[in-house]
């Protein structure tokens, strides 16, 4: 992976949820059948961290069971942080890890405040370099997500990064930052780039709409970002550099990459 910047990897817990019909969760980890060829695989917490270390990730995540929504409270209550894995695997991983690398635990517990709090305090007792809140933005809605953050974030140490996984809509980012979240990851920026969706202070704009093809104005005349300002001469086609045509607009991922 020829990437000079920091790398954050996920544990595979979210993929376990995606493969729900094919999975079996045990004390040792999770076994699942490949949806491609039906072959059987086992993912243990140790193997998950080993794979992430082989990728030379700067921040690795402990294997979690990402709980789907809705989830029945009865089952979640058995495992305060949704699975028995974080404790032992985190302690073993910690002993092998070098300086400059971070290992994060992931708070689960669906939409139940008591489960979230137990998960958060359990992870805090183990001690991680950072704390992620997982299993949100899976269909519960913004109001519920914010309520869960209100119940969860105060339980997480203030002097460690707090990371909300899978969230990227502007209004969600703002609300989560106000609740103490420091980090996010989401497919939304790259997906929006691919589909030519732009976020402006007046809402989202679909640049594939025909009316933008011949509109020479920037998305927002007062915005200093690369998408709204004239492109560098060598990157822009010589005539009309500020067209909204998504094929040449800076929200296009290919062009965004050039701008970096």
Residue 25 or 173 with smaller CB distance to Zn ion: 173
Q: How far is the CB of 205 from Zn ion (least distance, A)?
A: 11
Binding range to Zn ion, per CB under 5 A, among 153-161, 167-175, 179-187, 218-226: 218-226
3-state SS track over the chain: CCCCCCCECCCCHHHHHHCHHHEEECCCCEEEECCCCCCEEEECHHHHHHHHHHCCCCEEECCCCCCCCCCCHHHHHHCCCCCCCHHHHHHHHHHHCCCCCEEEEEECCCCCHHHHHHHHHHHHHHCCCEEEECCCCCCCCHHHHHHHHHHHHHHCCCCCCEEEECCCCHHHHHHHHHCCCCEEECCHHHHHHHHCEEEECCEEEECCCHHHCCCCCCCCCCCCCCCCCCCCHHHCCCCCCCCCCCCCCCCCHHHHHHHC
Is residue 259 at the binding interface for Zn ion, with CB under 5 A as the rule? no
Q: 73, 177, 223, 254: which one contacts Zn ion (CB under 5 A)?
A: 223
Tell me which residue of 68, 129, 78, 138 sits closest to 99, measured CA to CA: 129
Is residue 231 at the binding interface for Zn ion, with CB under 5 A as the rule? no
Residue 103 or 227 with smaller CB distance to Zn ion: 227
Can you read off the two tokens belonging to residue 185? 């990851």
Binding range to Zn ion, per CB under 5 A, among 37-45, 63-71, 113-121, 220-228: 220-228
Residue 73 or 225 with smaller CB distance to Zn ion: 225
Q: 225, 232, 254, 259: which one contacts Zn ion (CB under 5 A)?
A: 225
Is residue 73 at the binding interface for Zn ion, with CB under 5 A as the rule? no
Q: How far is the CB of 144 from Zn ion (least distance, A)?
A: 31
Q: 83, 145, 181, 228: which one contacts Zn ion (CB under 5 A)?
A: 228
Is residue 188 at the binding interface for Zn ion, with CB under 5 A as the rule? no
Residue 1 or 221 with smaller CB distance to Zn ion: 221
Is residue 250 at the binding interface for Zn ion, with CB under 5 A as the rule? no
Catalytic residues: 10, 185
Q: How far is the CB of 16 from Zn ion (least distance, A)?
A: 38
Q: How far is the CB of 3 from Zn ion (least distance, A)?
A: 26
Q: What count of other Cβ atoms lies within 10 Å of the Cβ of residue 54?
A: 9
Q: Are 107 and 131 in contact (CB under 8 A)?
A: yes
Residue 20 or 225 with smaller CB distance to Zn ion: 225
Residue numbers at the binding site for Zn ion (CB under 5 A): 223, 225, 227-228
């Amino acid at each position: 992976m020829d990437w000079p910047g920091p790398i954050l990897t996920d544990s595979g817990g979210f993929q376990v949820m995606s493969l729900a019909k094919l999975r079996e969760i045990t004390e040792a980890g999770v076994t699942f059948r490949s949806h491609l060829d039906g072959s059987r695989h086992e993912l243990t917490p140790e193997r998950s961290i080993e794979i992430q270390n082989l990728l030379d990730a700067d921040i690795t995540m402990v294997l979690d069971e990402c709980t789907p929504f809705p989830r029945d409270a009865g089952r979640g209550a058995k495992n305060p942080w949704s699975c028995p894995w974080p404790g032992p695997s985190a302690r073993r991983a910690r002993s092998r890890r070098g300086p400059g690398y971070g290992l994060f635990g992931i708070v689960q517990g669906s939409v139940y405040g008591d489960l979230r709090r137990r998960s958060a305090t359990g992870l805090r007792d183990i001690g991680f370099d950072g704390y992620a809140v997982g299993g949100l933005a899976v269909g519960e809605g913004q109001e519920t997500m914010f309520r869960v953050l209100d119940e969860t974030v105060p339980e997480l140490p203030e002097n460690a990064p707090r990371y909300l996984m899978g969230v990227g809509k502007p209004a969600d980012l703002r609300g989560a930052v106000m609740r103490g979240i420091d980090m996010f990851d989401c497919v939304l920026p790259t997906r929006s780039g691919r589909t030519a969706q732009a976020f402006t202070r007046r809402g989202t704009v679909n640049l594939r709409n025909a009316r933008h093809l011949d509109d020479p104005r920037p998305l927002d005349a007062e915005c200093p970002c690369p998408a709204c300002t004239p492109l560098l001469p060598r990157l822009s086609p010589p005539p009309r550099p500020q067209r909204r045509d998504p094929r040449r607009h800076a929200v296009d991922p290919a062009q965004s990459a050039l701008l970096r």
